[in-house]
Amino acid sequence: MNYLTIDLGGTEIKYALMNEEAEILEKCKVPSPRNTETTTEDLVAILKDIIAGYETRVEGVALSLPGVLNSDTGDSYTAGMFHYLSGQNLPKLLQAHFDLPITVENDGKAAALAEYWKGSLSDVTNGAAVVLGTAVGGGLIIGGELYKGNTFAAGEMSFILTNPVMGEYWGQIGGSSYLIKLVSEKLDIPLEELNGYKVFEMAEAGHPDVLRMLDDYTKGIAHQLYNLQTLLDLDLIAVGGGISRQPLLLEYLQKNIDEYCNNHPFKPFMPRIPTPKITACQHFNQANLIGALYHHLNLTNQVNL
């Protein structure tokens, strides 16, 4: 059996034809609508065109969407850049046009599900995926299940308060976009000429300013990973997002975690300090597609997982 999976991202809408083992048979993408005048009807029209091309070839459609949403019913409470979907039910809007089961899962939770199903978290009971993208997404696996919370808002890591005096939140200073912005401002390089790959090229080349900024950036991430570990006593934290492909990111993250834990003021009295064990996510940009499929198969009981 084959399924259509669609990941609605801030820059692109990625979609793929996948089988029940999450093997990608075909994949494509289109630009996300970013016009401030975009409406729900505009987005539905884009998705209708995509689904129509696969309607007779698939058993269902699995969506990944930002924001706080009830993945059991499909109701969106918030929807990130797709703010016009707040208060809407995207699966129901699409099912009015197609005789197919259509489901939706939050993008960060989908990434966690992908890593738990077929990735870095597949052998853990308690773990987390932390996705460094435009902001900071993620999901929690607790007791071998995705933990959603009372209002489906668990794992919305961008809302973690990092500096109450400055009013800073992790979503503002933890995403890869923040590192790119720092490099742009410090080196006076136009932001449109930079991306994560170019930043890490400079870092790999030993650019001292870029390395200092990378160190500061990963200190902030290590700080929050330590807090997650302290609160949840996790087996493993998988770090995702495009920049997680860069070995230097994990190297600096590990260095800063070690510094926090080895120099902890309680260590002389408590040798066992909560220490996050980290790894890179395996599925990178495909994680949301894979996790959305996992959720779909479970919710519709089409495949026993």
Q: Strand runs (DSSP E) across 9-112, as ranges?
A: 12-19, 24-31, 61-65, 102-106
pLDDT at position 301: 84
pLDDT at position 202: 97
d(CA 202, CA 204): 5
Nearest to 5 by CA among 294, 287, 304, 292: 292
d(CA 181, CA 189): 9
pLDDT at position 74: 97
d(CA 227, CA 47): 39
| CATH, domain 2-106+285-289, list 3.20.20.70, 3.30.420.40, 3.90.870.30, 3.10.105.10 | 3.30.420.40
Whether 2-106+285-289 and 120-281 share one fold: the answer is yes
Would you tell me how many other CB atoms lie within 10 Å of the CB of residue 204?
13
Q: What pLDDT, in 10s, does the model give residues 242-253?
A: 899 999 999 999
Residues belonging to the chain: 305
Beta bridge partners of 130: 138, 239
Class of domain 120-281: alpha beta
Domain spans in the chain, listed from the N-terminal domain onward: 2-106+285-289, 120-281
Mean pLDDT by 10 residues, the chain (305 residues): 95 95 96 90 97 97 96 95 96 97 97 97 97 93 96 94 92 94 96 94 97 97 97 97 93 97 92 94 93 96 65
